[in-house]
Amino acid sequence: MLTVVLALGSALMYGLSDFIGGFLSRRTSVWSVAIVTQVAATIAVGAATVVVGGDPTAGDLSWGLFAGLGTGTGTAFLYRGLAAGRMGVVAPLSAVGAALLPVTVGVITGERPALIVWAGIALAFPAIWLIARSTDHTEAALGAGGLNAGVIDGLLAGLGFGLMFAALGQVPDGAGFAPLVAAEAVSIPVIIGLAMAMRQAWVPRELASLGGVVVGSLAAAAAVLFLLATQAGLLTVASVLSSLYPAFTVLLAAVVLRERIHGAQGIGLMLAVAAVAMVAAG
């Protein structure tokens, strides 16, 4: 049960960070927000590491470095999709991919959840997809080229976030948060490198970019809760429940911005509740 609570807390924090990050992206460069976000997350987790301590091995730190490659890659392609207006394609693919890879890794490494938990995991995938789907059909307006680019962005973002979840899931209890600091720190040059390769401006120049400090603090809290969730229970459970973060983003948009929850999202939210109940029952 502790894993469920921690993973849902992680999903909430990720949902909050995505909500605020999306709000900021309407006012400044998404790439500059991404850089400030990851710098703030590195500092926040670093401060937590000093307080908590821990005794990480070289192997634990290596997993952190792998997680950082995934974080940087996932963030870069997610933000590229956001900047190009392809989120109706990118968001669901990235969220499902973020859950699928660590579930696969968990099974390969010997995790065997109960049957009802498997049922909840299976139900979570269509829930994530439906919740994250956009209502504006911008991919249709982009044409086949834009749609294909959105699929590529979504797959690469999902692969990146899935790698992050799978790698952090290998960090044992007692290592502290140092591997997570490594992950957040490595993601910064990865994002900068990809931004430069895509010829995107990434240097924070506008005041609105400083909002990334809040986003980074929330993302750091989400990552810490996810790491604790994997140490308290199964990676398969923690990764799927943490990947339900779009549900919180959608609910926040409905409550704060008065955005309407369309039919598919409503169905997805109901499926998400059922999935969580099944996982918790197991």
Q: Cα(200)–Cα(225) distance, rounded to whole angstroms?
A: 32
Mean confidence (pLDDT) of the chain: 86
Per-residue pLDDT, 139: 44
Residue type, 45: V
Per-residue pLDDT, 226: 95
On the 0-12 / 13-18 / 19+ scale of CB atoms within 10 A, 146 is: middle
The most distant pair of C-alpha atoms in the chain lies apart, rounded to whole Å, by: 52
Please work out, in degrees rounded to the nearest 5, the angle formed at the alpha carbon of residue 18 by the alpha carbons of 13 and 19.
95
Please identify which residue in the block is written with the tokens 């192997």: 59
Is-contact 275 127, C-beta < 8 A? yes
Per-residue pLDDT, 199: 87
**Tokens at 180, concatenated:** 């997570």
pLDDT along the chain (282 residues), means of 10: 92 89 77 91 93 90 95 87 69 83 90 90 89 57 55 87 93 92 95 89 85 92 94 92 87 81 86 89 74
Is the C-alpha dihedral spanning 203, 205, 211, 217 positive or negative? positive
Question: For the chain, which residues make up each domain, given as ranges?
Answer: 2-281
Is-contact 20 218, C-beta < 8 A? yes
Q: Cα(59)–Cα(183) distance, rounded to whole angstroms?
A: 13
Within the chain, residue ranges assigned H as helices are: 2-25, 30-52, 58-83, 87-108, 115-132, 138-168, 178-197, 212-232, 235-242, 245-256, 263-281
Counting Cα atoms < 13 Å in the Cβ hemisphere of 100 gives 16
Per-residue pLDDT, 31: 86
Is-contact 124 4, C-beta < 8 A? no
Residue 93 CB coordination number (10 Å): 26
Per-residue pLDDT, 165: 93
| pTM (two decimals) | 0.87
